[in-house]
């Protein structure tokens, strides 16, 4: 029992938090030490080996400041991380040697691999466009995953010396060609019944390659989160962004 990972969950009563608590409790090498939600005392997390945060963009920074101050390793899925937030977390960690934070915008292993494969393939094709499809309750478009995929594709194309993709469009209804992220066209579909889906379309000489990922259930995030909990203690000092290193892809 000595090497059980003691896990605390912030946002324990939320849609993700509930599933994370159940998943942790079901793992042989982990123990759910504390579940904390709004109104609970964070002190319950003291003594944990790893704290998982799936709360709210308005709450996560204060939680991280507190956890890092306590020397607790964190695994963070809460959205809303920009460069300024990343820099702030790096400063907090620099003042707490031996403490790590793993911040992951998308814990779905399939989505992480889709982004890798898209970046790998991009240099071989003249054209690349993205279609992302989500449930009708999503408030932002395009999705963070689509934006990140487009940036990775654009970087791979630039490195390969590819110019703009062929496109003869001279007249178009506004929006018909989608949004442009780093000059990659991204089309957003919002449809009742869907959860989170993405297609990367690559086109070349007489052939196309389509990469498609479907998140069918919030359970898709759990294997990546459990790997993050197991892996965060072995990460290098400072914050780590994305699941790639934990998956052994970096
Ligand atoms: N990285 C990923 O792969 C991934 C996957 C799914 C969701 N998310 C993100 O995770 C976050 C949570 O998603 P959700 O669907 O579970 O939301 P949710 O609203 O169902 O749950 C959030 C929970 O956090 C609690 N909370 C808010 N402030 C808190 C605080 N200061 N301390 C403790 N608990 C607090 C809320 O009461 C609620 O129970 C969102 O930002 C979402 O975008 C990320």
107-144 confidence digits (pLDDT tens): 999 999 999 999 999 999 999 999 999 999 988 899 98
Q: What is the pLDDT of residues 132-183, one digit of tens each?
A: 999 999 888 999 899 999 999 999 999 999 999 999 999 999 999 999 999 9
Q: How far is the CA of 15 from the centre of ligand 1 (A)?
A: 7
Which residue among 55, 59, 67, 216 is best mutated to probe the pocket of ligand 1, counting the most ligand atoms within 8 A of its Cβ? Answer: 55
pLDDT at residue 1, as a whole number: 47
**3-state DSSP assignment of residue 170:** coil
Q: What atom of ligand 1 comes closest to residue 76's alpha carbon?
A: 1
Q: How far is the CA of 61 from the centre of ligand 1 (A)?
A: 13
Structure tokens at 48: 């944990």
CB of 35 sitting under 6 A from ligand 1: no
Residue 233: is its pLDDT beyond 60?
Answer: yes
pLDDT at residue 217, as a whole number: 93
Rounded CA separation 226/152 (Å): 26
| The one catalytic residue among 6, 13, 56, 138 | 138
**CA 54 to each of CA 23, 51, 154, 247: distance values in angstroms, whole numbers, following the listed order:** 14, 10, 30, 20
pLDDT at residue 70, as a whole number: 97
Q: How far is the CA of 12 from the centre of ligand 1 (A)?
A: 8
| The one catalytic residue among 6, 13, 134, 185 | 134
Backbone angles phi, psi at 78, to 5 degrees: -55, 140
Residue 86: is its pLDDT beyond 50?
Answer: yes
Residue 48 DSSP symbol: -
The Cβ of residue 159 has, within 10 Å, a number of other Cβ atoms equal to: 11
- Closest-CA residue to 214 (of 193, 230, 233, 234): 193
**3-state DSSP assignment of residue 10:** strand
CB of 243 sitting under 6 A from ligand 1: no
- Are 219 and 19 spatial neighbours (Cβ–Cβ below 8 Å)? yes
pTM for this entry: 0.90
């Amino acid at each position: 029992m000595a090497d059980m990972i003691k896990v605390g969950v912030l946002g324990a009563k939320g849609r993700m938090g509930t599933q994370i608590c159940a998943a942790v409790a079901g793992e042989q090498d982990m123990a759910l030490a504390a579940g904390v939600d709004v109104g609970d005392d964070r002190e319950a997390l003291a003594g944990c080996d790893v704290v998982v945060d799936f709360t709210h963009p308005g709450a996560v920074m204060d939680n991280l400041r507190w956890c890092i101050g306590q020397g607790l390793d964190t695994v963070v899925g809460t959205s809303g991380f920009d460069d300024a937030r990343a820099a702030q977390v790096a400063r907090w960690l620099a003042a707490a040697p031996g403490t790590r934070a793993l911040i992951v915008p998308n814990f779905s292993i399939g989505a992480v691999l889709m982004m890798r494969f898209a970046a790998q393939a991009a240099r071989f094709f003249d054209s690349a466009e993205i279609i992302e499809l989500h449930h009708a309750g999503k408030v932002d478009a395009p999705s963070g995953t689509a934006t990140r995929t487009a940036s990775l594709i654009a970087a791979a194309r630039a490195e390969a010396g590819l110019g703009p993709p062929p496109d003869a469009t001279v007249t178009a209804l506004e929006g018909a060609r989608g949004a442009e992220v780093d000059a990659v066209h991204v089309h957003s579909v919002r449809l009742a019944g869907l959860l989170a889906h993405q297609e990367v379309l690559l086109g070349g000489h007489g052939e196309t390659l389509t990469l498609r990922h479907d998140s069918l259930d919030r359970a898709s995030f759990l294997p990546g989160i459990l790997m993050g909990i197991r892996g965060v203690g072995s990460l290098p000092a400072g914050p780590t962004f994305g699941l790639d290193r934990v998956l052994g892809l970096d």
